[in-house]
């Protein structure tokens, strides 16, 4: 009797990069079949212009996935994923209001809703998420537990450029100057002796700090570069050497240090 085939699933919003590739390789190592979805989910964007500007490279993505020998690629339409027009949504009432949730109203509800739909649609053995979106990862783990889903959620290490900037689809929108600032911010987050000093250093570099918080053994941050139509919001996190400490520095997005 043939054993049941295992399925590894990587949900993405496209604009694929080395971080996504590392998730795919992990899934291929641990499963018989690998499935990738590409869907830019409109309900997890708190600003309509951010949704419109989100990087899209579907042809390049499909070519890359073909070279990686992915077994199946899902590219659903908005109407397919939201046949009810978004009438039914998933709402988490605790963690989703903190950190990124405090600055992006509705973001995590949109994310959890589409992840639940995709997990039901694909029914994977395992689903793979990068730890760069650490709050997202923990919320998805809670979602699976709360709704009795059988999928194992696998958190994978952050993939970084040689500069130590974490790979992100949003990096495609950075100007050369913004990229250098983002690299310096990533290094400040890692090397500062405290979250307060990390926030001060990131702000001094010209970024607008949403928050720097030490939570569950990691230092997490979100900051914004550029103004108006050129604004790019990045998130990152690093493991703490002393995870017993717990500091919070949460700022309004328009506040800077003196």
| The pTM of the whole model exceeds 0.85 | yes
The answer as to whether 48 is a domain residue is yes
The catalytic residue among 20, 25, 107, 246 is 20
115 and 149: one domain? yes
The answer as to whether 162 is a domain residue is no
The enclosing domain of 14 has a CATH number of 3.40.50.620
85 and 38: one domain? yes
129 and 176: one domain? no
> pLDDT value at position 45?
94
> pLDDT value at position 47?
87
Total number of domains in the chain: 2
Domain ranges, residue 224: 169-250
The enclosing domain of 181 has a CATH number of 3.30.1300.10
Active site residue 246: no
In tens, the pLDDT along 32-74 reads 999 999 999 999 998 888 999 999 999 999 999 999 999 999 9
Total Cβ atoms within 10 A of residue 114: 23
Residue 172 pLDDT > 60: yes
64 and 178: one domain? no
The answer as to whether 256 is a domain residue is no
Residue 254 pLDDT > 60: no
Count of alpha carbons within 13 angstroms of residue 59, beta-carbon side: 0
Q: Write the burial class of residue 105 (CB in 10 Å: 0-12 exposed, 13-18 middle, 19+ buried).
A: exposed
In eight-state DSSP terms, residue 243 is T
The answer as to whether 34 is a domain residue is yes
Q: Exposure pattern of 38-66 as b/e (b: 16+ CB <10 Å)?
A: bbbbbbbbbeeeeeebbbbeeeebbebbe
- φ, ψ for residue 201, nearest 5 deg: -70, -40
In tens, the pLDDT along 137-152 reads 999 999 999 999 999 9
13 and 115: one domain? yes
The answer as to whether 56 is a domain residue is yes
The answer as to whether 41 is a domain residue is yes
In tens, the pLDDT along 175-196 reads 999 999 999 999 999 999 999 9
- Going by pLDDT thresholds of 50, 70 and 90, the confidence category of residue 241 is confident
Pick the more confident residue, 25 or 249: 25
The answer as to whether 106 is a domain residue is yes
């Amino acid at each position: 009797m043939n054993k049941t085939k295992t399925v590894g699933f990587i949900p993405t919003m496209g604009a694929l990069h080395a971080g996504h590739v590392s998730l795919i390789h992990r899934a291929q190592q641990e499963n018989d079949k690998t499935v990738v979805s590409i869907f830019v989910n409109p309900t997890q964007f708190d600003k309509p212009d951010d949704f419109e500007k989100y990087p899209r490279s579907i042809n390049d993505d499909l070519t890359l996935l073909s070279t990686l020998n992915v077994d199946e690629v899902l590219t659903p339409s908005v109407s397919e994923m939201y046949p009810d027009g978004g009438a039914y949504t998933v709402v988490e009432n605790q963690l989703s209001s903190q950190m990124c949730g405090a600055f992006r109203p509705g973001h995590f509800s949109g994310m959890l809703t589409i992840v639940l739909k995709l997990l039901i649609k694909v029914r994977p053995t395992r689903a793979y998420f990068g730890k760069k979106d650490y709050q997202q990862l923990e919320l998805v783990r809670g979602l699976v537990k709360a709704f009795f889903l059988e999928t194992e959620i696998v958190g994978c290490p952050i993939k970084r450029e040689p500069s130590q900037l974490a790979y992100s689809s949003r990096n495609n929108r950075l100007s050369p100057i913004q990229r250098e600032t983002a690299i310096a911010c990533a290094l400040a987050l890692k090397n500062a002796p405290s979250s307060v000093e990390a926030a001060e250093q990131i702000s001094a570099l010209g970024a607008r700090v949403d928050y720097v918080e030490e939570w569950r053994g990691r230092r997490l941050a979100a900051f914004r570069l550029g103004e108006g139509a050129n604004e790019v919001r990045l998130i990152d996190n690093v493991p703490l050497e002393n995870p017993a400490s717990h500091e919070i520095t949460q700022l309004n997005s328009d506040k800077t240090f003196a």
